């Protein structure tokens, strides 16, 4: 693996495109395949860009790990993408964004790093009429308080209920995103908070999907929270933030077809099979490169 000093040196024999050039790829990483929902939004928003997506499937889930472990794993993933000469890094993992973003920024220096929590909080504050917002996330994201803090910075009068909804991750990966099983688990987590019906002063009017797996479960979540509650997925907002950052730095790729390099740390067949559902397009196992972090 090319070390950091080499990855940032344009004379290094490593990447073919110097980091920061318009032709360099945008790096995206997640603990597994959930971040492909963010990649899907990026492909729609930035149709000319090249992307390198890394799913750390050998070490998922990050959401139940200690903060120190998540930071260490996140730095490994960031460095692997730096070796490819990326011009920008998207941390498409809510858990890694909640505890590892600063460490990643210190590692990669001048290259832009964009997480999913700040765009998600921004979207939630815009969407909420009452300021009562529920956040569904992993244990680590909830305990770290990153969403709560990001929302309250923007809207000090907000009331935030953060719920650790870990079982939904497994449901999404198994493809059980709709039907009685998914709705039952969603109701297990959300039923008490939303009992009484939308519109009550004690009921959140906005739900943030604070894990990249959860957009796949939006129908089941909708069935529990009702039709009037706004559901915020940070993927689209994150994609817009990346677009704006690349444009501001003058490193957006203005022409050419999009390209994606898929990288996993374990299970290429599973990555391709489940990832195809999250991405909304076919991924073949032989398109997935296996690496060891």
Q: Catalytic residue positions?
A: 93, 211
Look-up: residue for tokens 């994609």?
Answer: 239
DSSP 254-270: -SS--EEEEEESS-HHH
What does the buried/exposed string (b/e) look like for 245-284 if buried means 16 or more CB atoms within 10 Å of the residue's CB? bbeeeebbbeeeeeebbbbbbbbbebbbebbebbbeeebe
> CA-based angle 115:34:166, to the nearest 5?
95
Cα distances from 61 to residues 17, 26, 33, 70, in angstroms, run 32, 23, 10, 10
- How many of the other CB atoms lie within 10 Å of CB of 153? 12
What DSSP designation does 2 have?
-
Q: What is the largest CA-CA distance in the chain?
A: 63
Sign of CA dihedral 92, 98, 101, 104: negative
For residues 140 and 62, the answer to whether their CB atoms sit within 8 Å is: yes
The whole-angstrom separation of Cα 53 and Cα 29 is 6
As given in the structure block, the two tokens for residue 233 are: 């997925």
Q: How far apart are CA 184 and CA 220, in angstroms?
A: 8
């Amino acid at each position: 693996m090319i070390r950091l000093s080499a990855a940032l040196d344009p004379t290094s024999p490593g990447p073919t495109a110097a980091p920061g050039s318009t032709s360099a790829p945008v790096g995206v990483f997640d603990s597994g395949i959930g971040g492909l929902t963010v990649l899907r939004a990026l492909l729609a928003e930035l149709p000319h860009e090249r992307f390198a997506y890394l799913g750390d499937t050998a070490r998922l889930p990050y959401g139940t790990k200690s903060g120190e472990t998540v930071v260490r794993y996140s730095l490994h993933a960031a460095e692997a993408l730096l070796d490819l000469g990326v011009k920008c890094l998207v941390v498409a993992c809510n858990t890694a964004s909640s505890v590892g973003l600063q460490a990643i920024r210190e590692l990669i220096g001048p290259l832009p790093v964009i997480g999913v929590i700040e765009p998600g909080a921004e979207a939630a504050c815009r969407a909420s009429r009452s300021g009562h917002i529920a956040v569904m996330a992993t244990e680590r994201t909830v305990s770290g308080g990153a969403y709560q803090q990001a929302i309250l910075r923007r809207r000090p009068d907000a009331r935030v209920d953060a719920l650790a909804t870990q079982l939904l991750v497994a449901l999404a990966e198994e493809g059980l995103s709709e039907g009685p099983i998914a709705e039952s688990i969603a109701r297990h987590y959300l039923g008490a908070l939303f009992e009484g019906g939308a519109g009550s002063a004690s009921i959140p009017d906005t739900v943030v999907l604070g894990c990249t797996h959860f957009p796949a479960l939006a129908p089941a979540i909708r069935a529990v929270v009702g039709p009037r509650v706004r559901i915020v997925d940070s993927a689209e907002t994150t994609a817009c933030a990346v677009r704006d950052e690349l444009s501001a730095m003058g490193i957006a790729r203005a022409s050419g077809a999009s390209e994606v390099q898929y990288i996993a740390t374990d299970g290429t067949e599973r990555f391709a099979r489940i990832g195809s559902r999250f991405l909304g397009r076919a991924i073949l196992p032989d398109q997935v490169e296996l690496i060891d972090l």
